[in-house]
């Protein structure tokens, strides 16, 4: 990459965003990263502990729906790259409360696109090769039967408020490319797992409950299938797309690693038993598995055909599920303080400690 990138990362305090900032910070020390995050319940500054504020990194607490603030950031920082992670991301929450998903995922993406358009297309103000990379999901394609894979040309068929809001944002991103020539790319990725994932998602939830001998809720018959990808592989794929992707393209990213939910839960149970011994009652952790009412509209199977990114960009996942799940379990066992901080809510105080006296919040 010849030109210096000044990257606005949205949602950099979330699970994937934080892993991505860690990768950029290490891999591209000459790039400047501006992390814009609202710090919702899912945003945790501790996910970035050790990343120093300075020439290469700045954190701004703010909302992607706040157009004035975003305009200021584009001008102040001369942003030439946006990597857009910020979103409401949990399907179950979208079922019980869809409003925030519509606001952040649709209006927020629109607000970022408008500011990028005004800055880069109208005022032609970007130095280097501007790029708006929108990080999306395989859920936009709907649900698969027993066979078949999602490709980049699979018709969109979202079924939850979450996936419908992400599909809507993908369409807006494409519309800005075709209508205004905004330099965009989209990535659609499968289920991620790894360090810093909020313990409401299947893997960290089961890990946490399994550790404490609590029930492990499995929705429906447990045979829904997800294609799991270690988060570091996803971040590597995004970096590869920034480097070598083609403007106007979308790229599917997947782990080539389909697993039934029940099998994932059993693997976590067995690994915890092996590492920590059986429960105090001498029972194996599989005894904690509890089948519960199914998620409404629960998509049956996701599976990604990732040949395009492999053939055109040369990216492939490097971490097998067997290795990745052990690394994830070890990380959670070694970072119990992080987990406890999230579970008891004290992670929210960290903002005040870190920035309370130093930086204004938004406007």
Residues that bind ligand NAD (CB under 6 A): 10-11, 13-17, 37-40, 42-43, 63-65, 85-87, 89, 104, 108, 135, 137, 166, 189, 191-192, 198
The burial class, CB within 10 Å (0-12 / 13-18 / 19+), for 314 is exposed
90 binds ligand DAU (CB under 6 A): yes
Q: Which does 217 bind (CB under 5 to 8 A by kind): ligand NAD, ligand DAU, none?
A: ligand DAU
Spatial separation of the C-alpha atoms in residues 105 and 165, rounded to whole Å: 6
Nearer to ligand NAD, 192 or 328 (CB): 192
Residue in the shown chain whose Cβ atom is closest to ligand DAU: 137
154 binds ligand DAU (CB under 6 A): no
117 binds ligand DAU (CB under 6 A): no
Nearer to ligand DAU, 79 or 225 (CB): 225
Q: How far is the CB of 124 from ligand NAD (least distance, A)?
A: 27
Residue 239 burial (CB count, 10 A):
18
Q: Which does 37 bind (CB under 5 to 8 A by kind): ligand DAU, ligand NAD, none?
A: ligand NAD
Residue 215 among the catalytic residues: no
Residue 162 among the catalytic residues: yes
89 binds ligand DAU (CB under 6 A): yes
Spatial separation of the C-alpha atoms in residues 347 and 65, rounded to whole Å: 24
Nearer to ligand DAU, 34 or 272 (CB): 272
Q: How far is the CB of 200 from ligand NAD (least distance, A)?
A: 9
Q: How far is CA 140 from the centre of its chain?
A: 15
Q: Pick out residues in 205-234 that bind ligand DAU (CB under 6 A).
A: 205, 217-219, 224, 226
CB contact at 8 A, 2 and 28: no
Q: How far is the CB of 165 from ligand NAD (least distance, A)?
A: 9
Using the contact rule CB under 6 A, the part of the chain among 85-93, 95-103, 230-238, 268-276 near ligand DAU is 85-93
Q: What are all long-range contacts of 17-22, with beta carbons under 8 Å and residues at least 24 apart?
A: 17/85, 17/86, 18/44, 18/47, 18/48, 18/196, 19/194, 19/195, 19/196, 19/231, 19/232, 19/234, 19/235, 20/83, 20/85, 20/235, 20/238, 20/239, 21/48, 21/51, 21/57, 22/48, 22/51, 22/235
| C-alpha gyration radius of the chain | 20
CB contact at 8 A, 36 and 77: no
Binding residues with ligand DAU: total (CB under 6 A): 19
> 76, 80, 83, 71: which is closest to 21 by C-alpha?
83
Q: Which does 39 bind (CB under 5 to 8 A by kind): ligand DAU, ligand NAD, none?
A: ligand NAD
Q: Single out the catalytic residue among 63, 139, 236, 266.
A: 139
User: Any idea which residues carry the catalytic annotation?
Assistant: 138-139, 162
């Amino acid at each position: 990459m010849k030109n210096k990138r000044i990257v606005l990362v949205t949602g950099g305090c979330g699970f994937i965003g934080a892993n991505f900032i860690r990768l950029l910070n290490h891999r591209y020390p000459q790039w400047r990263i501006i992390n814009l995050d609202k710090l919702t319940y899912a945003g945790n500054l501790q996910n970035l502990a050790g990343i120093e504020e300075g020439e290469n990194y700045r954190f701004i607490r703010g909302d992607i729906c706040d157009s004035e603030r975003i305009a200021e950031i584009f001008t102040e920082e001369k942003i030439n790259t946006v990597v857009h992670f910020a979103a409401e991301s949990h399907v179950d929450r979208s079922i019980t409360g869809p409003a925030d998903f519509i606001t952040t995922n649709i209006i927020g993406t629109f607000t970022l696109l408008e500011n990028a358009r005004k800055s880069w297309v109208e005022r032609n103000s970007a130095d280097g090769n501007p790029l708006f990379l929108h990080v999306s999901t395989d859920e936009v394609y709907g649900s698969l039967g027993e066979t078949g894979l999602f490709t980049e040309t699979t018709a969109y068929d979202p079924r939850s408020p979450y996936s419908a809001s992400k599909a809507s944002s993908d369409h807006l991103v494409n519309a800005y490319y075709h209508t205004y020539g905004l330099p965009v790319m989209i990535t659609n990725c499968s289920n991620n797992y790894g360090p810093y994932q909020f313990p409401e998602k299947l893997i960290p939830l089961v890990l946490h409950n399994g550790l404490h001998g609590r029930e492990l809720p499995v929705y429906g018959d447990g045979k829904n299938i997800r294609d799991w990808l270690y988060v570091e592989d996803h971040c590597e794929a995004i970096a590869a797309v920034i480097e070598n992707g083609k403007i106007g393209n979308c790229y599917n990213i997947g782990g080539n690693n389909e697993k039934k939910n029940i099998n994932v839960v059993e693997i976590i149970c067995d690994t915890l038993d092996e590492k920590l011994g059986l429960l105090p009652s001498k029972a194996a952790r599989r005894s904690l598995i509890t089948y519960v009412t199914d998620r409404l509209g629960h998509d049956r199977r996701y599976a990604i055909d990732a040949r395009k990114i492999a053939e055109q960009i040369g990216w492939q996942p490097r971490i097998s599920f067997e290795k990745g799940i052990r690394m994830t379990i070890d990380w959670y066992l070694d970072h119990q303080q992080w987990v406890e901080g999230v579970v008891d809510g004290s992670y929210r105080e960290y903002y005040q400690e870190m920035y309370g006296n130093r930086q204004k919040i938004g406007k």
